[in-house]
Amino acid sequence: MSENKLESKITKIYLFTRYERFWHWLQVAMIFTLIITGLEIHDLFGFLGFEKAVATHNTIGISWLIAFGIFVFWVFTTGEWRQYIPTEKKMMAVIRYYSYGIFKGESHPFPTRREAKHNPVQRLAYLALATLLLPLQMLTGFLYWSYNSWEAWGLNFLTLKEVAAVHMAGAFAIASFIIVHVYMTTTGHTVFAHIKAMITGWEEVETEEDVNGWDQRTH
């Protein structure tokens, strides 16, 4: 019995809609601005000046909150929320791939598809980001901004120091996520393949076919 010979083939699939790409790059701009102005507010450097840094930070923060609400509405009205449902399928295989297999040139165990944009590890990371970290950061930022209204709202049990500490910790957590995320964008079949996909919407994915053209991953 002869053994099928497999060969790699790069194909393109339309993965990210215009709105997804717009939301992604809008977040990049907003988060980068919030981090820079936040650091200036804490007197790590001088660029805009304290008052302008505070005003810019507050304006971008409220805009981010509104934009996030629109994104949540879009996710649920388009059915894209399904992309973030956690799954254990191939979870350990993906973890092994990122910790070991990727450095040996192995193929990704969870090939990207339009109906499954994110692998199991990405789903958990993005779900935690969208349901825990970002809402917590926005809530503490809003509380910090509305400090003078705490008494009227019955929030006297809070202290500004505690809210500021949680907000700062959240900022460092988001910055850490960004570092890992940027690194992960370089793990495609080329260094800039994933970044290009978030610009054009078209993701280049690797498939395996035998000598007769039979796709081993989709059949």
CB 163 within 8 A of CB 144: yes
Residue 94, domain member (yes or no): yes
Q: Is residue 216 part of a domain?
A: no
Handedness of CA 205, 99, 131, 54 (dihedral sign): negative
Sequential pLDDT tens for the chain (219 residues): 444 444 557 788 899 999 999 999 999 999 999 999 999 988 878 788 889 999 999 999 999 999 999 999 999 999 999 989 888 888 888 888 888 888 887 788 887 888 888 889 999 999 999 999 999 999 999 999 999 999 999 998 999 999 999 999 999 999 999 999 999 888 877 888 889 999 999 988 776 554 444 444 443
Residue listed under structure tokens 């692998």: 119
30 is a domain residue: yes
CB 205 within 8 A of CB 11: yes
- CA diameter of the chain: 80
- Residue 10 corresponds to which tokens in the numbers above? 């790069």
Range of the domain at 121: 6-210
Phi then psi dihedrals of residue 108, to 5 deg: -65, 130
Tell me, what CATH number does 183's domain have?
1.20.950.20
Q: Which amino acid is at 41?
A: I
**Size of the chain in residues:** 219
> How many beta carbons lie within 10 A of that of residue 76, not counting itself?
10
43 located within any domain: yes
Q: Which residue has the tokens 């992960």?
A: 184
Measured CA to CA, the distance from residue 197 to residue 10 in angstroms comes to 14
Q: Is residue 1 in some structural domain?
A: no
Distance separating alpha carbons of residues 199 and 18, to the nearest angstrom: 9
Q: Looking up tokens 């991953």, which residue turns up?
A: 217
Give the list of residues 6+ apart from residue 61 with CB closer than 8 angstroms, or none. 34, 138, 141, 142, 145
Cα-based angle 20, 65, 87 (whole degrees, multiple of 5): 50
Q: Is residue 215 part of a domain?
A: no
Residue 18 lies in a domain: yes
pTM for this prediction: 0.82
> What is the structure's pLDDT at 219?
39
Counting the structural domains of the chain, the total is 1
Task: Answer whether 79's CB lies under 8 Å from 91's CB.
Answer: no
